Chain A
Amino acid sequence: MTDWFHKQRYLIDFSLAALGRRKVRNLGLLAAYSLLVFVLASVMLFTQGLRQEAKRVLAESPEVILQRLVAGRQDLIPPGYLEQIGRIRGVQKMEARLWGYYYDPVVKANYTFMVPGERQIPSGQLVVGPALARERGLVAGNLISFRSYSGRLFTFQVAEVLPQASELMSADLVLLGAEDFRAFFDFPAGHYTDITLSVANPNEVRNVAAKLAAALPDSRPILREEVQRTYASLFDWREGMVLTVLAGALLAFAILAWDKASGLSAEERREIGILKAIGWETGDVLRMKFWEGVLISLSAFLIGYLAAWVHVFHLDGALFRPVLQGWAVLYPHFRLTPQVDGLQLATLFFFTVFPYTAAVLVPIWRAAITDPDAVMRT
């Protein structure tokens, strides 16, 4: 066993010396390889982090949300709607909600105006989300004016800014009292935006939804589990797409690796020829080349993965920001809880190390079977 170990260590020594003789080329390869791992790992870690955070947080979202559709579009809940639901058994609590969107021309951003269910906000006051406060430079106590859709100017006092820790969920929120909301949007009296329901028995949620759909044919119930499933698969297809797109990059990298491994310089060829002339076997040369591959791909994997970890969880995925932000002005500053799982690591490892290994196999073999005399004669 120790013999084997010593032999491998000498082989590693030798491979390192060989790698060192062509420093620039091998460092370039290592850098390209690490960068590839970094991009892939960043995508994977970021989406996984978002998914887990959504899963944790959305466990608290309403069990059933009821919308009303008119001609395929969401419409306001008219008076009398609530009473019809009350007769469905199993519904424990329901609440009609008021919320809507507002476009702020000052900073060209969309806000979500919402009337909180329990918290009472005095007339003329607002509670704002942290990203909005940052964008408009607001702190508690400031005054802010919005021009309503009817053209009137409303001035509110900021009572509070929501905590920064919850920014991922609350970045663009504006919370205000029901009276203010109705006045600001000229909201028809007795109408609501949608209805949230809670169901006594969690196993009954699907039945209740079916009953709702039957009793109110123009309604559209949205279940919490559907919301959660939507977010469980959020980015899933794009993650797959990104991988497919990056497959091009992977392929390019595999070609680079192939080329690098097959474009043996005359000098390298001579080296192998001499090694064989002094008694190395084909198997030994293969083993040395194998160690070269292992050293390069393992280092690249570790460097890329660790860099991606820092990027996603400590630099808040700074490189993704422009992509996710799109044309939006408000973008939440959030820090994802670090998440790692074996499946992802294994997949990542497979996606990066396997193509490299496969690509260099044939060129390495071709080098290893070189005849010593053929090389030395040339």
Chain B
Amino acid sequence: MLFQPAIIALLLAAGLGVAALGGAAPFAWQILRRWNLASGSEGQLTMERRTYLFSSLVALVLGVQLAALLLFVFNADRMSEMFVGAMCAVGTLQVNAWGFPALVAQIAVFFAASQWLLINHLDNQARDYPLVRLKYALLLLLVPLLALSFGLQLAYFKGLRADVITSCCGSLFSGESRGISGEMAGADPRLAMGLYFGSLGLAVAALGSYVLRPAPGRGNGLLAGLASGLVFPAALTGIISFLSLYIYEHPHHHCPFCILKPEYGYRGYALYLPLFLGCAAGLGVGVLQLFRRRPSLAALVPPLAQRLAWVALLALVLFLGLSAGMVWQSNLILLEH
């Protein structure tokens, strides 16, 4: 176990989060069973009051988890100098078997938390708390996810010993290695590029059409949400299989973490921040469509969804523009014309 401020902070955040959500769970169960807005009973009144507390508490915990993802990756990259053979975050995450699962869990927490916060925001605006049951049911699902993420992080950080020889990203993301990350690198660049630009184009088109004409049905909003969800894996595959090559100007360096390093001008942050923001907001557009029929939300959903769609559209267009620019600027020629 390494005694490092950032590690302590991450564990503290996750641990407190699990404790807070765990504390909220019995209350969530109570709401699921007994919430009745029409009743004026003492119990209902107490529950209504408590929702303020637990909504703020969960919002705080999940908000912190959004930031924790960034801190986790940042810290993994930084620690690489402490391990022989590790040159970037891949090496650090590979020091033991829990590194990558912890990262994946943290990403899952990020997206789940962002959607929960969105639903919470919507619900707080309506007079009659139409989503309160759903919100707390989802909260009950979030508890094990967050606990899993905490457990993985704890296992990962506990297993860290400085000086363990780890492999650098060169071997993990080179075409020969097995496992999911190897497959992403080995994907044919043409296919990956098609998938990448195809899904991004689809998402941008769907979001654009939603922004321009949000009124008819829920079809295009759902489509925008789905497409944004699709963008995320496609974009990661694209970054690993061809975009990183253009950035490093090296035909075999597939690492998605080295682009976060100062040598490459922190370009990774310029890519990942809009990508995560765009995907989360785009997903939100889709999620919001599920509630537009509820009477008390009918007036609230469209403006919120449209605002989110704008955010997602701008972020994804920025991401697309930046990545196309990086390919354009690069001296590497990957595909013969």
Binding site for B on A (CB under 8 A): 44, 225, 229, 232-233, 236-237, 239-241, 243-244, 282-283, 286, 342-344, 346-347, 350-351, 354, 357-358, 361-362, 365, 368-369
Contact = CB atoms under 8 A, between A and B. Distances in A.
A361 B67 contact: no
10 tightest Cβ-Cβ pairs between the two chains A and B: A240-B3, A365-B53, A369-B49, A350-B9, A343-B74, A347-B9, A347-B6, A237-B3, A347-B5, A346-B71
B146 to A, nearest CB: 16
Residue in B4, B5, B52, B78 whose Cβ sees the most chain A Cβ within 10 Å: B5
Interface in B15-58: 16, 49, 52-53, 56-57
B296 interface: no
B242 to A, nearest CB: 28
Interface string B150-166: 00000000000011000
B8 interface: yes
Contacts of B8: 240, 243-244
Contacts of A354: 12-13, 16, 64
Contact of B3 (A241, A286, A357, A368): A241
B308 to A, nearest CB: 14
Contacts of B84: 225, 229
B332 interface: no
Interface in B191-231: none
A361 B60 contact: yes
A226 to B, nearest CB: 9
Contacts of B57: 361
Contact of B52 (A342, A351, A365): A365
B5 A358 contact: no
Given A233-B162, A237-B3, A346-B67, A358 B60 contact: yes
A144 B8 CA distance: 51
B82 interface: yes
A44 B60 contact: no
Given A229-B81, A347-B9, A354-B64, 4 more contacts: A229-B82, A243-B8, A357-B60, A365-B56
Interface SS of chain A: helix
A351 B60 contact: no
13 contacts: A232-B81, A240-B2, A240-B3, A240-B8, A283-B52, A343-B74, A343-B78, A350-B9, A354-B12, A358-B16, A361-B56, A369-B49, A369-B52
A249 B8 CA distance: 16
B53 A362 contact: yes
B171 interface: no
B208 to A, nearest CB: 21
A239 B13 CA distance: 19
Contacts of B6: 343, 346-347
Contact of B4 (A239, A282, A350, A365): A239
Interface string B280-297: 000000000000000000
B137 interface: no
B115 interface: no
A361 B60 CA distance: 10
Contacts of A286: 52, 56
A347 B79 CA distance: 14
B49 A236 contact: no
Interface string B177-192: 0000000000000000
Nearest to A43: B5
A351 B81 contact: no
B124 interface: yes
